[in-house]
Amino acid sequence: MKLKPPATPIINIDPYFSIWIEKTNFKRTNHWTGAQNTVLGTAVIDGEPWYFMGYTPLCSLTGYLPSDTKVLSLEQTQVDAFSTIVTFVNESIRLTVHFTSPVLPDSLYYASRPVAYCKVSWEALDGQDHTVSVRFTATEELVLNRKGDKLVTDDLVALKGAAGIRMGALKQEPLGKYGDDLRIDWGYLYLGAAGQAQVGHLQLADMYAIYAEKALDKDALFFFAYDDLESIQYFGENLKAYWKNGGKTIEQAIEEALAEYDSLLARCDRFSQDLQKKATEVGSEKYADMLLLSLRQIMAAHKLVVDNKGNNLYISKECFSNGCAATVDITYPSAPLFLLYNPELLKAMIRPVMDYAASEEWTYDFAPHDVGKYPILNGQAYGASRVPVAEGQTTIDVFRYTRVETELYGVDYGKEAHFLYAKQMPVEECGNMIILFAELCRIEGNTEFVNPHLDTVAQWCKYLIDFGEDPANQLCTDDFAGHLAHNVNLSIKAIMGIAGYSKILSMLGKDAEAASYMEIAKKYAASLIVRAANPDGSFRLAYDWENSFSLKYNAVWDKLWGTKLFPDHFYQGEIARYKKELLPYGVPLDSRDKLTKSDWLLWVASLADNKEDFNLLVDSLWTAYNTSRSYVPMTDIYYCDTAHLAPPNFLHRSVQGGLFIKLMME
């Protein structure tokens, strides 16, 4: 990989257990939120202490290491889909540190199991014999929202063929917090190594910490694991992670992981190499770089659990947006990765939405936006309700926010914040849901998954017919520059949703009904071509905004499905306009601002008829990540003229699954 990641993944399992290194200096380990999650890497080489990873000042602050401890020089960092391999050197040896989080998207079990590896090896550079031992130290920051929040304790762990220790809060309160900029403060972190090793605890500055240390004849295999005890609250019931099926314990999971390291690493390597090859063939090495870097981030933005009926639920966290869980317009852009490798995971994202839509609480004729605020899924976080308004008027829909949201939206703390209907995304979410159902039917060749929900899907399609041709002023997923009426790209989403419903009906053998819906989609598309046209051959941001533009990413389904609702000149005109509007680091989302979205940028790149135009836009995104000075996990929103992070500073989001869209079209 030639890309220099703005941040480098090292331990990446789920939204609470995801640790990154700033840029590539390996001097600070952070949770993806930016809060420090200190993991120190130290070595003793021929009796001399050396440091290679973590936060150096902490080492000498308490005498943990002598103040004159030497630092191994960073030689090289390699990143693939599941591993980060780093080499450090001094005049005597080369130390190789190989982190692997085997969150394979084609396996439900490995996508869930919370065990990450770190294999450490060394080789002599001077032809001499050396003694080498390595220690990893993890602080209480990994088991608390903030250091010092609670008392922390540790216990030795009995493992077959390994040594281990665990650390966690003395007072356990599973699922006791919810929201966005939060770290876990329940469950236990497990640290250790295969074979004989020394484990223990210590005080590191003002923090409690545990460590695992092992002498290296040649290499040593360390592990980092996290048992969160309970993972998701789902309509009042606390659910456990998928990996616990059959009563498996974390000790069993760790033992199993250590025993299969070689075979599982080989499987991960094959997956990564195959992904790199395919992405390079359809795009370029730069396209492959971004897919490889994004994969662990995408997977670690979810949690896989099982409900009381035995159904899989794959819960996304809307990272650094508002912390919503199972958000429809997060699932929609992330879908390509899962459609490619494991449709069951996409189904597991859809199930919570359908369960909520079928509940008594959801009384609307459009799709919900979300099912809660991570990790609590008890209903839409926007909180739709009906309350009386001024005397003599009927009730209206409003949305109640907690103190967290009132702070975000500038409402006085003491007041209950009410927001009108415009806070919903009715056309957006109806279109998203129907398109995803249709695509699942297409790739699986049957309607089995959608069959129980046909009445609801029909209702949502009716909503698109009634309100999608020329959407009223409402929120959509791209309204970073404000709400917008007559949104052309949103209209395209409605058109594709109607076409998707037609395709479902066709697969059900209802040909006449399917044809009638496809005719509606064709009629709306033909109207759009006339009413949204710009003189230069491109198409507007809004029907009533002359000469404006926007990324028409929703049209990707017309290309993928071969429905030909939009003529060739539509795509040609759009690509020509994108090339004209291209800034050093991408094409703006629309003509209102210079910010863009990585997922939508690659969706519109996939509308191009040739590889050259596709790679032109790919290169701009690659350059944005390669030169970014925002040292954070891959953001999906940034300014095209500077590559700087754009408000609302999205990080670590699963929407990067959208980068995989081109692979679906080959």
Quick check: 398 and 347 in contact, CB under 8 A?
Answer: no
What's residue 63's pLDDT? 64
Q: DSSP assignment of 138-206, as one string?
A: EEGGGTSSSTTSS-EEEEEEEETTEEEEEEEESS--TT---SSS----SSEEEEEEESS-EEEEEEETT
Does residue 382 or residue 514 have the better pLDDT? 514
Query: What is the per-residue pLDDT across 205-261, written as a single tens digit (0 to 9) for each?
Result: 889 999 999 999 999 999 999 999 999 999 999 999 999 999 999 999 999 999 999
Residue 286 identity: K
Report helix, strand or coil for 4.
coil
Residue 192 has pLDDT above 90, yes or no: yes
Tell me the backbone φ, ψ of residue 564, rounded to 5 degrees: 55, 40
Residue 322 has pLDDT above 90, yes or no: no
Residues 24-35, mean pLDDT to the nearest whole number: 88
For the chain, the straight-line distance linking the first and the last C-alpha, in angstroms and rounded, comes to 23
User: Which two three-digit tokens encode residue 361?
Assistant: 């609480």
pLDDT band per the 50, 70, 90 thresholds, residue 423: low
Residue 492 CA to residue 471 CA, distance in Å, equals: 10
Query: What is the per-residue pLDDT across 360-411, written as a single tens digit (0 to 9) for each?
Result: 989 899 999 999 999 999 999 865 443 333 333 333 333 333 333 333 333 3
pTM of the shown model: 0.93
Of 164, 194, 341, nearest to 260 by C-alpha is 194
Residue 346 CA to residue 380 CA, distance in Å, equals: 19
CA–chain centroid gap for 438, Å, is 23
Quick check: 541 and 580 in contact, CB under 8 A?
Answer: no
Query: What is the per-residue pLDDT across 69-81, written as a single tens digit (0 to 9) for each?
Result: 899 999 999 999 9
What's residue 382's pLDDT? 67
CB neighbour list of residue 326: distance below 8 Å, 6 or more residues apart: 313, 315, 316, 349, 352, 353, 370, 371, 372, 377
Residue 306 has pLDDT above 50, yes or no: yes
Which CATH number, 1.10.260, 2.70.98, 1.10.3470, 3.40.50, labels domain 7-270? 2.70.98
Of 76, 79, 80, nearest to 270 by C-alpha is 80
What's residue 473's pLDDT? 85
What's residue 388's pLDDT? 32
Residue 308 has pLDDT above 90, yes or no: yes
Residue 508 CA to residue 29 CA, distance in Å, equals: 52
Quick check: 274 and 295 in contact, CB under 8 A?
Answer: no
Indicate the domain borders of the chain. 7-270
Query: What is the per-residue pLDDT across 625-638, written as a single tens digit (0 to 9) for each?
Result: 999 999 999 999 99
Residues 163-167, mean pLDDT to the nearest whole number: 98
Residue 564 has pLDDT above 90, yes or no: yes
What's residue 513's pLDDT? 98
Residue 532 CA to residue 544 CA, distance in Å, equals: 8
What's residue 23's pLDDT? 75
Return the axis-axis angle of helices 611-627 and 598-605, rounded to nearest 10°: 160
Residues 498-527, mean pLDDT to the nearest whole number: 98
Of 498, 439, 423, 504, nearest to 468 by C-alpha is 498
CA–chain centroid gap for 112, Å, is 14
